[in-house]
Homo-oligomer: A and B are copies of this chain.
């Protein structure tokens, strides 16, 4: 889960790593005022949860408070990857002599924490890795191993830091590793770490991502206002609602509403829809053995979404029983009704009993089921996906 640049810099700064003088602003007036206070040229950086901010025009420089005002105004009217800029970090503009990269990340494959440094700061580390792999220096550590100062000094030395600066840069590397461990991070990077014209070492830009699953032991992050969020991009209103309900849910661009069981099938089902010429409107995961209440919430999310033209339902009764599942859906249909066509396949544990429940409910009230097609083990799931795509196309016309 990614932190905003200003959050990451706040943490760096609390750990004693020098960052530019700066402030988060939410209005153009604030930009002007703060630029006046600073009495320096400034840089205005849109605070968004994604890379490529520069290319999207999300960063602007300003010489005067008035320029800061107008730049901020421009940025606040900008949408980056579909999301409006709501916060800007206004930093003093550094006079840069040289840029470096330092970072700490996770090597999942080798189960190591990797401390990385490069003389080629200012570009993405993946790019440096492609173009100048020899300019990247690494130390891999086990989770219970310590990074020693001398190792950090050595790393600084290896990327060409002057002897007189290796303690300063080495200590920043060491601090970065400590901070990584302290916050259960997945990634912390300073890119670029800057040597300014007046020979200061400053963390010009910072990126930090923490392990969502360790948040329970980091109440201090919550105190800072850091809540569960995406690794990239902002949450939509519907995603926030789903989050409140505890349902893993993502909005996507398409028209087929996904009502699956299980995260794995949720992911694969989305592919199926695409394979068969459709586009899913969402990703969703029911969790194991969803309650009638949860089933209702899931269907509400789809029913209320105008983009959804048809619903693809799939249920493999495992631990949870298909009869319970069918009962839950029927309750929902009776109480709320469903305005979209749905094709549903139900198989696994007690699937026959489940189908019987549906059959009975349909007999009692055919109207509720007029847009719903229910299949059992006889129909491959692939055919269900195809049918959902068809239904969506038909509904669109």
Q: Contact residues of A with B, CB < 8 Å?
A: 144, 146
Contact = CB atoms under 8 A, between A and B. Distances in A.
2 contacts: A144-B144, A144-B146
A197 to B, nearest CB: 38
- Count this chain's copies in the assembly: 2
Contacts of A144: 144, 146
Nearest to A146: B144
A144 B148 CA distance: 14
A146 B144 CA distance: 9
A140 to B, nearest CB: 17
A237 to B, nearest CB: 43
A149 to B, nearest CB: 15
A132 to B, nearest CB: 35
A144 B146 CA distance: 9
Nearest to A144: B144
Contacts of A146: 144
A207 to B, nearest CB: 30
A133 to B, nearest CB: 32
Nearest to A145: B144
A208 B146 CA distance: 28
A151 to B, nearest CB: 15
A146 B146 CA distance: 13
A299 B148 CA distance: 45
A163 to B, nearest CB: 27
* Top 2 A-B pairs, shortest CB-CB distance: A144-B144, A144-B146
A38 B144 CA distance: 47
A143 to B, nearest CB: 11
A99 B146 CA distance: 39
A146 to B, nearest CB: 7
A386 to B, nearest CB: 52
A144 B143 CA distance: 11
A167 B131 CA distance: 55
